[in-house]
Amino acid sequence: MRDAWEFLKPYLGRYRASLLAGFGALAAKDLLATSLPLIIRAGVDSISSRFALSTLMKFCALLIGLAAIKGLFQYWMRVILIGVSRDIEYDMRNDLFAHLLRLSPDFYARTRTGDIMARATNDLNAVRMMLGPGIMYWFETSLTFVLAIIVMAWVDWRLTALALLPAPLVSLAVFWFGRIIHVRFERLQAMFSDITSKVQESLAGVRVLRAYVQEEAELRQFERLNRDYIAQSLRLARVSGMFLPLLQSLVGLTFLIVLWVGGLRVMSGRITLGTFVMFSTYMAMLIWPMIALGWVVNLVQRGLASLKRMREILQERPSIAAPPAPRPVPAGGDIEFRNVSVIYRGTRALDRLNLTIRQGETVAVVGRTGSGKSTLVRLIPRLLDPDEGQVLLGGVDLREFDPAELRRIIGMVPQETILFSATLAENIAFGVEQATREQIAQAAEQAGLGPDLASFPQGLDTLIGERGLTLSGGQKQRTAIARAILRDPRILILDDALSSVDTLTEERILQGLASVMRGRTTILISHRVSTVRQADRILVLEDGRIVEEGTHAELLAAGGYYADLYQKQLLEEELEAV
């Protein structure tokens, strides 16, 4: 609970004035509500001693006036406090999204997208319900209960003491049921994350599901998750279903005590009829607090369970972050790898690698799958940091730069092409806010996308769908290349960016890129010799080490892996031409 309070304190502090106003309206509403039974008592006693219509009308007018004022305060109480909970929900959602954007790739490698979505929606709503209705009704019912008990004890402490006999049982029930609700709701939210993850994965991979005729298998898995979720929901519902009737029973017992003992005291003349009516009115007022107590405990326990799940994400820290005093990124300079090693689960993806890429040089990297090519280029924009050694730019370790500033000078096309549900132009201009229409069209032309624009319904304004659903694999890659070109980066990285295009299209793209790559530090990764043959230098990686290095002609003469790869691909082209 203390950790939850420390986490929520900054959010609540932003709305201190509104909270004070809201709780002020709550206190005024409860004070007026507590005064109504006293007026009823005075009115009943006055009428009992000597009935007068004028007296009755005065008391009725007073009751109506106070009830109207109470209703006004109750309205503002709800508007202000529920409104603050919505504002805090807004702040939390923004903070959570901003935090998710700052987290490093390794977090997403071990966390399911569906789980993150569940925490950002379902759990956040549970926290909002706790901060809004939960806290509001907690204070309202507590204050109403305290004020009513004070007045009742002042009028007749003996009858009040008897009426409170069931109170310890209420406290015990709240404690016991609240603990069970917390545990079961936390488990329920984890199961909801599983369901969300399954839906997200199935929809993202729906083409693969259909291709492998796995719709029924996926449906069975989803039905099992859904069945388990319903079973857990029913377990929680059973606990909640027992909780509320138990509280109502205890309230009924309290009413029975007041009716029995209070009636006897009226008959014996120890209290007036007005006092008995006042006690009965107060007991009626306490029905809602005692019943609402169970609902509030339910909301608070759900909110605390969800808050714990949200804090687990918000307490994550990016493994790659800016240093306390980042150095400015140099205008130019060589990229240098010094004894760099990257270790994945005990295996060295890069093994004590040393390499210098000179400013303005085009370097190509080839090698077998798993040789460390993508790992090598991911180090340059600090998508990961080396476990051993250093990567330097202009003689300065990359870890001394702000990652955001470093990435602004880099244009990278990763192996997996990510496009957004927006227009083609918006996808190309992603990250370049001031791009003109002409610049976007030029980047598309240089990326070899120009001939395809005529086939799109609205050209650059064509909506390409989620993840570029309406584009072919080659069109997606060329769109990503155009996006990187438009940034006008000092360092251009193409990680197997031409794997989905045919050789003729590849040649056209390379011709368009020739002017872009001139004078710009460029790193090409490819399995095709045709893509890398014009590079200033070609590296062959094997088991995280450079085993061959040179120009296209030099590597062919060396007769190693590169020469074998060239001969193999040459043979494949000849066979395709037959």
Q: Which of 165-179, 197-211, 216-230, 249-263 has the highest mean pLDDT?
A: 216-230
Main-chain dihedrals φ then ψ at residue 492, nearest 5 degrees: -115, 125
Mean pLDDT (whole number) for 316-321: 83
pLDDT of residue 101: 85
**269-280: per-residue pLDDT in tens?**
777 777 777 777
Read off the pLDDT band of 11 (50, 70, 90).
confident
Cα–Cα distance measured from residue 480 to residue 502, given in angstroms and rounded to the nearest whole number: 17
H or E segment to which residue 555 belongs: helix 552-558
Read off the pLDDT band of 75 (50, 70, 90).
very high
pLDDT of residue 87: 92
Q: What is the dihedral of CA 173, 178, 179, 182, to 10 degrees?
A: 160
Mean pLDDT of the chain: 82
Main-chain dihedrals φ then ψ at residue 488, nearest 5 degrees: 50, 55
Closest CA to 222 of 200, 207, 204: 200
**77-132: per-residue pLDDT in tens?**
999 999 999 999 999 999 999 888 888 877 887 888 778 888 888 888 888 988 88
pLDDT-above-90 percentage for the chain: 13
pLDDT of residue 175: 67
**442-489: per-residue pLDDT in tens?**
888 888 887 777 778 788 888 877 777 778 777 888 888 888 888 888
Return the higher-pLDDT residue of 134 and 186: 134
Cα–Cα distance measured from residue 98 to residue 38, given in angstroms and rounded to the nearest whole number: 54
Cα–Cα distance measured from residue 442 to residue 438, given in angstroms and rounded to the nearest whole number: 6
Cα separations in angstroms, 480 against 38, 311, 416, 485: 75, 35, 10, 9
CA 57 from chain centre, in angstroms, equals 59
The vertex-61 CA angle with 57 and 63, nearest 5°, equals 115
Cα–Cα distance measured from residue 196 to residue 111, given in angstroms and rounded to the nearest whole number: 13
Question: What's the length of the chain?
Answer: 578
Read off the pLDDT band of 573 (50, 70, 90).
low
What pTM, to 2 d.p., does this model score? Answer: 0.72
pLDDT of residue 69: 93
Cα–Cα distance measured from residue 95 to residue 89, given in angstroms and rounded to the nearest whole number: 10
Q: Are strands 347-357 and 335-344 parallel, antiparallel or unpaired?
A: antiparallel
User: Are the C-beta atoms of residues 393 and 377 closer than 8 Å to each other?
Assistant: no
Cα separations in angstroms, 166 against 163, 171, 255, 290: 7, 9, 11, 11
pLDDT of residue 122: 82
Among 143-152, 176-185, 345-354, the least confident range: 176-185
- Tell me the residue type at 569: Q
Residue 362: strand, helix, or coil:
strand
Is the pLDDT confidence value at 357 over 70?
yes
Read off the pLDDT band of 160 (50, 70, 90).
confident
pLDDT of residue 80: 94
| Exposure of 447 in the CB half-sphere (CA atoms within 13 A) | 28
Is the pLDDT confidence value at 265 over 80?
no
Residue 465: strand, helix, or coil:
coil
- Tell me the residue type at 493: I
Is the pLDDT confidence value at 196 over 90?
no
H or E segment to which residue 536 belongs: none
pLDDT of residue 271: 73
**385-440: per-residue pLDDT in tens?**
898 999 999 889 999 999 888 988 888 888 888 888 788 888 888 888 788 888 88
Among 10-19, 303-312, 356-365, 506-515, the least confident range: 506-515
- Tell me the residue type at 23: F
pLDDT of residue 256: 76
* Sequence-ordered list of residues with C-beta below 8 angstroms from that of 282, at least 6 positions apart, any chain: 37, 148, 151, 152
461 DSSP 8-state letter: G
Cα separations in angstroms, 194 against 209, 230, 234, 270: 19, 13, 18, 64
Closest CA to 198 of 229, 238, 162: 229
pLDDT of residue 576: 61
Cα–Cα distance measured from residue 465 to residue 424, given in angstroms and rounded to the nearest whole number: 10
Cα–Cα distance measured from residue 404 to residue 101, given in angstroms and rounded to the nearest whole number: 12
Residue 517: strand, helix, or coil:
helix
Taking the CA atoms of 388, 393, 397 and 400 in sequence, report the sign of the dihedral they define.
Answer: negative
Among 45-54, 86-95, 369-378, the least confident range: 45-54
pLDDT of residue 141: 83
Residue 539: strand, helix, or coil:
strand
- Structural domains of the chain, with CATH: 87-314 (1.20.1560.10), 335-577 (3.40.50.300)
pLDDT of residue 503: 72
pLDDT of residue 46: 75
pLDDT of residue 52: 66
> Which two tokens mark 424?
């083609």
Beta bridge partners of 455: none
